[in-house]
Amino acid sequence: MTNMTLPSRVKIVEVGPRDGLQNERSLVPLEVKVEFCNRLSAAGVQNLESASFVSPKWVPQMASSGEVMRAITRRPGTIYSVLTPNMKGFEDALAAQADEVVIFAAASEAFSQKNINCSIAESIERFVPVARAAKAAGLRLRGAVSCALGCPYEGEVSVGAVVEVADRLAQLGCDEIDIADTIGVATPRKTAAVMDAVSRRLPIGQLSGHFHDTYGQAVANIYASLEVGISIFHSSTAGLGGCPYAKGATGNVATEDVLFLMEGLGIETGIDLPAIVATGQWISGWLGARAASRAGNALAARARA
Ligand code: HMG
Ligand code: MG
């Protein structure tokens, strides 16, 4: 079998230290966060979402983001990204020497209110100066569209709403737009339809898939996205994560599962799967939970045998 239509290489954005840890109830010590980031970059992660400059009242777990950014060992060539919902977040990100900042909007009004306390239109207005400042500082800029495949409050989200928000983020100068299944409800045909619709408005190389794995569909959704030409995917080692403002949503698709899929398809990621498996087992052990990665647990068991 040959790879006729799939890319030969994909970009993986590891979001475990941010999307993963932001949802942990007990406070994860600074040194564990730092070691997590360092292990991930040492495993070959070239895009690492390492922190989040949001209000510590809203997400206490991310309060140590400045310290994390200052303490990690920067691997040359790795792009360290952070969430910045407003100018306060951006200034902190700049001081912490982030390489890339992420503005995050939603395709659903109810989720926008719950997550960032404003309407979609207000959020875009708030992002204008952040985007301008990021460009002026020479930073990469990424934009996320939450609830692109379903909303915990509104249910169905129209494809038109996703295209509209993605387009507005692109107009702000985003280098990359993340199409996010915040609550992991998507199935492959729906995913393909949304990705296809957005790619009719924006260059497909600018789009990424950010899938939570709540209903076990994320790997299937990634495959469907690959087939329509998406070549950037977000994942979280050990499947950590969830959004504090998306009740019932579990973690992102596990990096181990995505790497196993890509290896099987002959698609390069530049990331060392055994090193990620070991990191996933280590962070899960630290958190006192079993890793939420089928491939990770299977490979770890095989390595122990
Ligand atoms: P607000 O309360 O409306 O903001 O929150 P405000 O401007 O009125 O400020 C209130 C207080 O927060 C003030 O402090 C500000 O200084 C402080 P006070 O005077 O009361 O002491 N503040 C900040 N502090 C630190 N850093 C900041 C910051 N901004 C204000 N950047 C705000 C609005 C957006 C700040 C708040 O709603 C917030 O932080 N929301 C973030 C929620 C969040 O982090 N959600 C999870 C990440 S998104 C996600 O997981 C989805 C994603 O993975 C994709 C997907 O799966 O869908 C990306
Ligand atoms: Mg997420």
141-151 pLDDT, tens digit each: 999 999 999 99
- Name the residue at shortest CA distance from atom 10 of ligand 1: 55
Q: 117 Cβ partners below 8 Å, 6+ apart?
A: none
Q: What would the mean pLDDT of 194-216 be, rounded to a whole number?
A: 98
What is the residue with the minimal CA distance to atom 1 of ligand 1?
Answer: 117
Check if 146 has its Cβ closer than 6 Å to any atom of ligand 1: yes
Q: Is the CB of 207 under 6 A from ligand 1?
A: no
Cβ burial of 226 (10 Å; 0-12, 13-18, 19+) is buried
Q: In the prediction, which pLDDT does 235 show?
A: 98
Mean pLDDT of 248-259: 94
Taking CA atoms only, the protein residue closest to ligand 1 atom 9 is: 55
In the reported structure, the alpha carbon of residue 237 is separated from the centroid of ligand 2 by a whole-number distance in angstroms of 13
As a whole number of angstroms, the distance between CA 14 and CA 29 comes to 20
Q: What would you report as the CA-atom Rg of the chain, rounded to the nearest whole angstrom? A: 18
Question: Angle 87-95/120-136 helices, nearest 10 degrees?
Answer: 30
**147, 151, 174, 243: which is the annotated catalytic residue?**
243
Decide whether any atom of ligand 1 lies within 6 Å of the 117 Cβ: yes
Q: Which two tokens stand for residue 44?
A: 């070959």
Testing ligand 1's pocket by substitution, the residue of 14, 52, 54 carrying the most ligand atoms inside 8 A of its CB is: 54
* Protein residue closest via CA to atom 2 of ligand 1: 117
Known catalytic residue at 147: no
SS3 string of 1-38? CCCCCCCCECEEEECHHHHHHHHCCCCCCHHHHHHHHH
pLDDT score at 113? 98
Both structure tokens of 156: 């169905």
Q: What domains are there in the chain, each with its CATH number? A: 11-304 (3.20.20.70)
Rounded to whole angstroms, how far apart are CA atoms 277 and 302?
11
Residues with CB under 5 A from ligand 2 (ion): 19
Task: For a ligand 1 pocket test, name from 55, 62, 82, 176 the mutation site with the most ligand atoms within 8 angstroms of its C-beta.
Answer: 55
Residue identifier of the C-alpha nearest atom 19 of ligand 1? 55
CA of 39 to the centre of ligand 1 (A): 28
Torsions phi, psi for 296 (to 5 deg): -60, -45
Torsion, Cα of 195, 199, 201, 207 (10° steps):
90
Report DSSP state, residue 302.
H
199-214: average pLDDT: 98
Average pLDDT across the chain, whole number: 96
Cβ of residue 186 lying under 6 Å from some atom of ligand 1: no
Q: How confident is the model at residue 25 (pLDDT cuts 50, 70, 90)?
A: confident
**Whether pLDDT at 186 is above 60:** yes
Structure confidence at residue 4 (pLDDT):
55
Q: With 0-12 CB in 10 A as exposed, 13-18 as middle and 19+ as buried, what is 91?
A: middle
Atom of ligand 1 nearest to the CA of 116: 37
